[in-house]
Chain A
């Protein structure tokens, strides 16, 4: 086939065209959904956010950036941002550490490996509403948590920090946010364990064997081999975690209602958006909140790319 014959050429071209058509056909449906639900919705939200908006009549009067100014100057929104950042800064590293620890543990060749993997992952597959309700009962003044610490004789230790025997962990605004952080460390570390486990198993045994020959103990092997080689895993887990942390909502509304009770302790950015849209019926201001959240998430993701996303340094 060194000489191109016109007929063969055109048939190849038509084949390539029909292949391309089939390809585009396959991507068409997801692309239309992506354009409609993501791209269009995004630009439509920008459009809505600069108007006073009515559900029936649409735009009522042009506000320009007024909604953004209202949102940014609202003390409740500022508290929501503060809580979301606090939650992210504490919850992300804590959950990643617990997830990694669990992954390393269940990656060992131990008896009942499958059982432990399933047990640690179990809270992640339970419905978040159900597990939050369980947590609300456990953290109540006469709940399991207070009973257990009393039973273990830990009461004096807690009273050192000013917590009485009937501390209302979710009802007291000093402790509500930390209680929700603990809840989510518990429920999400299983998922992170699974993600880390996949990364752990991609590290070649030869590296560990070489390290062992050089006399490295398990502790050194972990810090000098496992941890650095997991860098792509860290990047992925941290990105997913930060985005999830900035969007926390369901546990907050179940434990504190749409007002982020008690005293705004459980007010997060997405909850503020929900309250603005469906309690206050102010949809354009809610759209502005959504876009501010987008900017925060986008900036956080870019920052992480700079920190974790580079090529491995070895």
Chain B
């Protein structure tokens, strides 16, 4: 019996190893996993109405409003393409973790959300299907996407691995009872903040984040930068960048700005809502939250103030719809993708008020004029370089240490960030 069990165990282990791990020699060039060439077009012609079959669509769902807006958009798709049956399956839980299990098991949705922050990693590791053959066959117009959004989803090979489903820019939101004349420049912002300090029961005039997730917009505005124009070397250690970081840190030093956490709030939206701060820097996600949680607080948007760089600048965030390298219904998925990120689908989707259009030919949704006006010049706020998460972490850790130790020196922040950028670029 003992021998029998030993044999059984051995057989089981061998079976598990051979079953789940391909041999090392099977490693293929990036992006080659799963065929990506369209099979349904036939002879170069592409007639989306002739394609029929199912398509599984997945993503996270941050609010009921988002679910409603997507349902409305999908109804529009269904009436245009009745032969493609869309099965919308939002994923609960931590999205990248759930998707990792799906990539590993091969059970991948046909079309799914990919956040800019990990898009580059997923492209490099070959989890997403390139779209260029489909773009060529279908003649899909990619020129209408704002470049700040679209650039994130192109691989190192220059191919498209997703289209931005929407976007958001960082702008200035201010309490209109307290701020009558919104600042146009960073100098105006300082003057205004100094006059508001200690008034109106404010804990601080500005709510600021101690990281690059907002700080990068200020860095750019004040003439600093993170990377050289070719993206190959760090420039955060330059005098201009160091001055810009020091300027941002001095907002904390002089009591003009405070983190949401130090005001006892979860994020700056709460600080604006609870009137702990008069001015915050957020994106369009602020609107639904203010309407539902702080309906009595009056606020308005204005573009990011212009700094010493002299030109208007801000940062933006985006998410794509992408097709998986292992997705089973790629043709159906591309028809759905081109509808959702095309003019008609995106118009329906952004009418829901959840996000801004990532295309310039889609009408501006109501109340989003300021945020959309920034789309043409906004630079990506994440996903624009490999390993950016570690860069952000290095900046934020060092920045937090400086403000909590009350030393307020940009030097260590800049050098820690420079080291992280150089390390990320070398990998």
Q: Assuming A24-B1, A57-B22, is B400 touching A263 (CB within 8 A)? A: yes
The contact of B404 among A55, A140, A174, A277, by CB within 8 Å, is: A174
- A residues near B400, Cβ cutoff 8 Å: 173, 261-263
Contact between B100 and A171, CB atoms less than 8 A apart: no
- A residues near B228, Cβ cutoff 8 Å: none
- B residues near A123, Cβ cutoff 8 Å: none
Contact between A57 and B27, CB atoms less than 8 A apart: yes
Q: Assuming A40-B16, A281-B122, is B325 touching A171 (CB within 8 A)? A: no
Q: Kindly state the separation between the CA atoms of A51 and B333 in the bound complex, as whole angstroms.
A: 33
Q: Kindly state the separation between the CA atoms of A60 and B21 in the bound complex, as whole angstroms.
A: 11
The contact of B396 among A36, A54, A259, A279, by CB within 8 Å, is: A259
Contact between A57 and B262, CB atoms less than 8 A apart: no
- A residues near B16, Cβ cutoff 8 Å: 36, 40, 44
Q: Kindly state the separation between the CA atoms of A264 and B400 in the bound complex, as whole angstroms.
A: 10
Q: Is B156 an interface residue (CB 8 A)?
A: no
- B residues near A166, Cβ cutoff 8 Å: 262, 264
- B residues near A142, Cβ cutoff 8 Å: 264
A49-65 residues at the B interface, CB under 8 angstroms: 51, 54-62
Contact between A55 and B103, CB atoms less than 8 A apart: yes
Chain B CB within 10 A, most for which of A51, A60, A61: A60
Q: Is B24 an interface residue (CB 8 A)?
A: yes
Q: Is A15 an interface residue (CB 8 A)?
A: no
Contact between B1 and A263, CB atoms less than 8 A apart: no
* Number of B residues with CB within 8 Å of any CB on chain A: 47
B1-56 residues at the A interface, CB under 8 angstroms: 1, 5, 9, 12-13, 16-17, 20-24, 26-28, 33-34
- A residues near B263, Cβ cutoff 8 Å: 141
Q: Is A182 an interface residue (CB 8 A)?
A: no
Contact between B33 and A58, CB atoms less than 8 A apart: no
Nearest-neighbour CB distance to chain B for A147, whole angstroms, equals 11
The secondary-structure label for the interface of chain B is: helix
Residue of A nearest to B96 (CB): A278
Contact between B125 and A54, CB atoms less than 8 A apart: yes
Q: Is A47 an interface residue (CB 8 A)?
A: yes
Q: Kindly state the separation between the CA atoms of A54 and B106 in the bound complex, as whole angstroms.
A: 12
Q: Kindly state the separation between the CA atoms of A143 and B127 in the bound complex, as whole angstroms.
A: 45
Contact between B261 and A263, CB atoms less than 8 A apart: no
Binary contact track A73-92/B, C-beta < 8 Å → 1, others 0: 00010000000000000000
Nearest-neighbour CB distance to chain A for B416, whole angstroms, equals 10
Contact between A57 and B126, CB atoms less than 8 A apart: yes
Contact between A140 and B264, CB atoms less than 8 A apart: yes
Q: Is B326 an interface residue (CB 8 A)?
A: yes
- A residues near B398, Cβ cutoff 8 Å: 263
Q: Is A119 an interface residue (CB 8 A)?
A: no
- B residues near A57, Cβ cutoff 8 Å: 22, 26-28, 33, 126
Q: Kindly state the separation between the CA atoms of A139 and B33 in the bound complex, as whole angstroms.
A: 49
Nearest-neighbour CB distance to chain A for B217, whole angstroms, equals 20
* Number of A residues with CB within 8 Å of any CB on chain B: 41
Q: Is B85 an interface residue (CB 8 A)?
A: no
Contact between A56 and B262, CB atoms less than 8 A apart: no
Binary contact track B373-394/A, C-beta < 8 Å → 1, others 0: 0000000000000010110010
- A residues near B21, Cβ cutoff 8 Å: 44, 47, 58-59
Q: Assuming A24-B1, A55-B125, is B9 touching A263 (CB within 8 A)? A: no
Contact between A279 and B397, CB atoms less than 8 A apart: no
Q: Assuming A24-B1, A47-B21, A281-B125, is B401 touching A143 (CB within 8 A)? A: no
- A residues near B97, Cβ cutoff 8 Å: 278
Q: Is B181 an interface residue (CB 8 A)?
A: no
- B residues near A173, Cβ cutoff 8 Å: 400-401, 404
Contact between A56 and B121, CB atoms less than 8 A apart: no
Q: Kindly state the separation between the CA atoms of A29 and B74 in the bound complex, as whole angstroms.
A: 46
Nearest-neighbour CB distance to chain B for A277, whole angstroms, equals 7
- A residues near B389, Cβ cutoff 8 Å: 279-280
Q: Is A20 an interface residue (CB 8 A)?
A: yes
Q: Is A168 an interface residue (CB 8 A)?
A: yes
Q: Is A172 an interface residue (CB 8 A)?
A: yes
- A residues near B264, Cβ cutoff 8 Å: 140-143, 166, 168
Residue of A nearest to B259 (CB): A171
- B residues near A278, Cβ cutoff 8 Å: 94, 96-97, 100
Q: Is A125 an interface residue (CB 8 A)?
A: no
Residue of A nearest to B397 (CB): A263
- B residues near A143, Cβ cutoff 8 Å: 264
- A residues near B387, Cβ cutoff 8 Å: 280
Nearest-neighbour CB distance to chain A for B252, whole angstroms, equals 13
Q: Kindly state the separation between the CA atoms of A11 and B21 in the bound complex, as whole angstroms.
A: 47
Nearest-neighbour CB distance to chain A for B86, whole angstroms, equals 25
- A residues near B326, Cβ cutoff 8 Å: 56
Contact between B27 and A259, CB atoms less than 8 A apart: no
Contact between B126 and A59, CB atoms less than 8 A apart: no
Contact between A141 and B262, CB atoms less than 8 A apart: yes
Q: Is A35 an interface residue (CB 8 A)?
A: yes
Can you list 5 A-B pairs, Cβ within 8 angstroms, ordered by A? A54-B125, A58-B26, A262-B261, A262-B404, A263-B397
Among all A-B residue pairs, the 10 with the closest Cβ atoms: A171-B261, A55-B103, A142-B264, A141-B264, A140-B264, A58-B22, A263-B400, A55-B104, A263-B397, A59-B24
Known: A56-B126, A58-B21, A278-B100. 5 other contacts (CB 8 A): A166-B262, A168-B262, A172-B404, A261-B397, A279-B389
B residues in contact (CB < 8 Å) with A: 1, 5, 9, 12-13, 16-17, 20-24, 26-28, 33-34, 94, 96-97, 100, 103-104, 106, 118, 121-122, 125-127, 259, 261-264, 325-326, 387, 389-390, 393, 396-398, 400-401, 404
